[in-house]
Structure 1
Amino acid sequence: MIPRPIQDKFLQNAYSTNRLMQRFQSSPFFVAELNGKLVGFAHFSHVKEGQSELFAFYLMPEIQGQGIGTALLQHGIQMLQGAKTLIICVEKDNLKGIHFYNAKGFKILDEFEDTFDGHVLKKVRMVLELQKK
């Protein structure tokens, strides 16, 4: 979906040790481990006006489908005190991701285009209602 050179540049910048430490210290960030090995993570925004956003959610491909992603998502949601909704933006072509979020109760709000380092991405914004408003 994203050309490899753009992915590599993004990963080098966004997931450097310093950037990860900033995320750990500034917002809800949870990891999943299996047999002592890091296999995934979820990065949320702080709750603001009853809303939080799931900025990033990744699992190693070989552990997908084992319930670890569901447990990680549920743990993060439980930690978002006062959140009424959770928003996520997913690349439109990420059918596996969209299917996962649909299965967890997320609904599509809208579709939009986003420019990512000069590359246009088609995205889907989804919402999960956590509490009655």
Structure 2
Amino acid sequence: MFVRTAGERDLVAIRALLVETWHATYDAIYGVEKVTEITSEWHSVAALKARLARPSTEFLVADDGKRIGGIAFAEAVDGGEVLVLRQLYVLPDMQGRGIGGMLLDEVIESFPEAHTIRLEVEEKNTRAIAFYQANGFVRAGRVDDHGGTGIPALIYERVLAA
């Protein structure tokens, strides 16, 4: 796998990855119908395409030349000092192979001015929480309305080397 910037030609594959990963991760938590609703809105090709042009962001894919195995999307806020990891997903059958770590490292390297990286994670997504904790993140709070869904989430942060 190698990590590169996502392009328009990747959007259909990215959408498929997100839909598969979301259903595998969240069907048991939210139900198939709610997951389908969220992925239809958040992960449409049009929504993904809009992210490609957003300023102060990086949209990455992990690619082995045959398929995209993971994606990451991050945005610099607060004058670039805080990096918000909006998405980090790896195909279920490719998890545990270091792809998430590669994407996380590349996102951080893409924003050398950032002092902190922050993310929100579903509190029942114990596998993701374990991944973030293993990568130096600590719990920093909680929100009641993640992404306008009405779903609560935990906030995790990691201080980055100066």
Q: Determine if the TM-score, normalized by the shorter chain, exceeds 0.5.
A: yes
1:13-28 correspondence runs (5 A): 13-26=41-54, 27-28=57-58
Partner residue of 1:72?
A: 103
- Tell me the alpha carbon deviations over residues 70-90 of structure 1, each in whole angstroms, 9 at most, x when there is no partner: 011101110013000000000
- Cα distance in 2 for residues equivalent to 1:19 and 1:68: 24
- Cα distance in 2 for residues equivalent to 1:117 and 1:48: 21
Identity of aligned residues (%): 25
TM-score normalised according to structure 1 size: 0.89
- Tell me the alpha carbon deviations over residues 73-127 of structure 1, each in whole angstroms, 9 at most, x when there is no partner: 1011100130000000001111000000000000101133226776x53321000
- Cα distance in 2 for residues equivalent to 1:89 and 1:108: 10
SS at match of 2:109: helix
Partner residue of 1:99?
A: 130
Query: 1:114 is matched with which residue: 145, 148, 151?
Result: 145
Partner residue of 1:2?
A: 30
* Count, aligned residues: 131
- Cα distance in 1 for residues equivalent to 2:51 and 2:147: 20
Q: Which runs of 5+ in 2 are unaligned?
A: 1-28
Partner residue of 1:12?
A: 40
TM-score normalised according to structure 2 size: 0.74
Runs of at least 4 residues off by over 6 Å: 115-118
What is the CA-CA distance between 1:54 and the residue it aligns to? 0.5
What is the CA-CA distance between 1:58 and the residue it aligns to? 0.7
Partner residue of 1:53?
A: 84
